[in-house]
A and B are shown apart, each in its own frame.
Chain A
Amino acid sequence: MNTLIELAYLVAAVCFILGLKQLSSPKGARNGNRIAAVGMVIALVATLPLLHFTTAGVIIIAIGVVIGGAVGSIGARMVKMTAIPQMVALFNGVGGGAAALVAVAELLRFGQHPAFAEAFPSVFSIVIGSVSFAGSMVAFAKLQELMTGKPITYPGQQIVNGILAAAILGFVIAVLAVASIPFSFVSLMVLALVLGVAFVLPIGGADMPVVISLLNAFTGLAVAASGFTLNNFALIVAGTLVGASGSILTKLMSDAMGRSLGNVLFGAFGQTHAGTAAVAGKEGRSVRSGSAEDIGTLLAYSQRVIIVPGYGLAVAQAQHAARELADVLEKRGVEVTYAIHPVAGRMPGHMNVLLAEANVPYEQLKEMDEVNDEFKNADVALIVGANDVVNPSARNAPGSPIYGMPILNADQAKNIVFMKRSMRPGFAGIDNDLMFDPKTLMFFGDAKDSLTKLVAAVKAA
């Protein structure tokens, strides 16, 4: 019987690996997700013979599966495309919490002096799982705008975090060397939860995707550690796969933002003050704003228009309106392309998903490297709800928090139309000099309304 279970786990592991492989190529991605889901079902069914079917146990499993299944499927179906990043954070967090709880249950079962080989992975899982849970919840709150997206720093923060880490280490040693009593590992869990919050607080909202990816890798490792505790191969293999691939993905994501991971995680300390001071003195500059008719005419008589979509477009659900504008323009012989910054929206790839939903033809979507040289030949760069990804201070203001991030060269276009709800700074919380550029026309309003007005104006022109 055990052989069969192990074989089923092996099949499940192969499914996960094939699924991951397919998920990393656009052609097979959806299939890859399904293969991984099949692997999950196989692993779960194979586990059934391992269970002791007590009445209470069956009841709580049934209740848990029904509630979790309902929450998960309804949450995932109802969520708006724009809110997906925080949804992923939430699902990641609950996984981390589950891993920590599994380890707690095992430590309770082992008694006061578990063997090191069992106790060590358990405390590892408790710490990492709890950090992932609490960190993901803060990431969720930041992205959902339940709290400020700006980095939260306070004097002595690093000292507090250091004390926290030292206390955790102390409890780990206590559990491993002295006695594994509930007081010690429950305290460990509480401290790790606090550490998770403290870890994410100083990181700005714009960097949340990288943080979520890192916490995703953490959860994977916590799951693998729980697998060591339970002597379960499925948990070890799947958890480790996620831990390893998640770490690589985290690196790829911070590379796409042109930053090092260390800079993303700890960049808030001591750096932002200089950045905000540098831009603070520039109040009171004038901006030009245009009417829908002005801008419609400008667009209609252009030859090349590059649309730069950003999070504002996503929030306003304006992807369809953007396509409509592009269609009207193309009918008049204007060449329209979309410039997609790697982190446009709130996650890498987020914008592609949204525009694909609006049936924007693939060949009009241009990645940053491809399109950056074309801006100087463009008559109009139409910036729809983007901000930080076209902010020249990433190029020329070393004090700025986004200094060094590769940006779209929208400022090289002959005319710039900046569509925004207000003069409010973007997600990174910094002013954008491009708005004050003499070539720039501001067009205030909700992205969808504004685009619809432009469609009418272009038709009339």
Chain B
Amino acid sequence: MSNELLNELTFFVLSIFVGIEVISKVPTILHTPLMSGTNAIHGIILVGAIVIASNAASPLNLVIGLVAVTLATTNVVGGFVVTDRMLEMFKGRNAGRAQGAQDGSQKQAAPAKESTPTK
């Protein structure tokens, strides 16, 4: 086994463990964004696509390269943009949550008084 292959295998195996560890606990609300985010990351295949496209000499290889680069770019760009759009929605909610936490604590302090504590 060549040294390079050995190195690659090492990276491969360690990455498996990192990948498992890094997302062991995810709240349900983030399942969809996380899936979409990992989807964008495997768009790294664009690196491979431009490498084979730049090596292409025959017409067949050029066609394969063109299709691969197009598909991979769609994956990367679409993946990151759609994830960002999804997470943008949480921004409003996070602001709401900070306020909500405040409301909650005040409610707990004075449960009988239901008058709106904001303002």
Contacts and interface: CB of A to CB of B under 8 A. Distances in A.
Interface in B66-109: 66-94, 96-97, 99-101, 103-104
Contacts of A17: 18, 22
Given A47-B51, A61-B69, A234-B44, 18 more contacts: A24-B25, A26-B29, A54-B54, A64-B49, A64-B67, A68-B75, A68-B77, A69-B73, A69-B77, A72-B79, A84-B82, A91-B43, A95-B45, A98-B69, A240-B19, A356-B89, A359-B93, A360-B96
Interface residues of A, number: 117
Nearest to B114: A333
A73 B31 CA distance: 22
A456 B111 CA distance: 30
B15 A236 contact: yes
B68 A216 contact: no
A249 B35 contact: yes
B51 A232 contact: yes
Contact of A235 (B47, B67, B101): B47
Given A88-B35, A236-B12, A239-B42, A102 B75 contact: no
Given A353-B86, A362-B96, A87 B45 contact: no
A357 B72 contact: no
A95 B31 contact: no
15 contacts: A24-B30, A29-B90, A51-B54, A63-B70, A64-B68, A68-B70, A68-B74, A72-B76, A108-B64, A220-B38, A223-B42, A230-B48, A235-B45, A236-B15, A237-B11
Contact of A71 (B26, B61, B74): B74
Contacts of A36: 37, 40-41, 80
B90 A356 contact: yes
B90 A241 contact: no
A224 interface: yes
A363 interface: yes
A258 to B, nearest CB: 12
B54 A236 contact: no
Contacts of B61: 105, 108-109
B4 to A, nearest CB: 6
B49 A102 contact: yes
B31 A102 contact: no
Nearest 9 Cβ contacts at the A-B interface = A68-B73, A244-B19, A64-B69, A72-B77, A72-B78, A240-B15, A356-B93, A76-B81, A95-B75
B5 A19 contact: no
A192 to B, nearest CB: 16
Given A20-B23, A75-B78, A44 B47 contact: yes
B103 to A, nearest CB: 7
A26 B94 contact: yes
Given A32-B37, A77-B85, A95 B23 contact: no
Interface of B: prevailing SS: helix
Contacts of B39: 88, 91-92, 95, 216, 219, 242
Contacts of B18: 17, 241, 244
A213 interface: yes
Contacts of A354: 89
Contacts of A241: 15, 18-19, 22, 38, 41
B60 A76 contact: no
Interface stretch (A169-177, A259-267, A342-350): A342-350
The range of chain B's interface size is 35 or more
Contact of A94 (B75, B88, B89): B75
A340 B11 CA distance: 40
Interface of A: 16-17, 19-21, 23-27, 29-30, 32-34, 36-37, 39-40, 43-44, 47, 50-54, 56-58, 60-61, 63-65, 67-69, 71-73, 75-77, 79, 81, 84-85, 87-88, 90-92, 94-95, 97-99, 101-102, 104-106, 108-109, 117, 209, 212-213, 216, 219-220, 223-224, 226-228, 230-249, 252-253, 256, 333, 342, 347-350, 352-354, 356-357, 359-363, 367
A224 B41 CA distance: 12
Nearest to B67: A101
B47 A51 contact: no
Contact of A223 (B44, B57, B83, B89): B44
Nearest to B24: A248
B105 to A, nearest CB: 11
Contacts of B52: 101-102, 105-106, 230
Contact of A349 (B28, B71, B85, B104): B28
Name which of A65, A72, A77 has the most chain B CB atoms within 10 A of its CB. Answer: A72
B82 A91 contact: yes
Contacts of B91: 30
A76 B35 contact: no
Contacts of B40: 33, 36-37, 40, 91
B38 A20 contact: yes
Contacts of B54: 51-54, 57-58, 61
